[in-house]
Amino acid sequence: MAILWNKSLEIGNTLIDEQHKKLFEKADQLFEAGKQGKSKEYIIQLFDFMDDYAKTHFRDEEKYMLSINYPEYNQQKQMHESFIQKLSDLRQEYEKAGANITVIIGANQFILDWLINHISNADRKIGEYARKIKD
Query: What is the C-alpha separation between 93 and 87, in angstroms, rounded?
Result: 10
Tell me whether residue 79 or residue 99 sits nearer to Fe ion (CB atom): 79
DSSP annotation of 117: I
From CA 129, how far away is CA 83, in angstroms rounded?
A: 23
- Residue nearer to Fe ion on the CB measure, 76 or 108: 76
Closest contact distance (angstroms) between CB of 37 and Fe ion is 32
* By the rule CB under 5 A, 10 interacts with Fe ion: no
User: Cβ closer to Fe ion: 45 or 117?
Assistant: 117
- Nearest residue to Fe ion by CB is 123
| CA 103, 104, 109, 110 torsion-angle sign | positive
Residues 24-83 that bind Fe ion (CB under 5 A): 61, 76
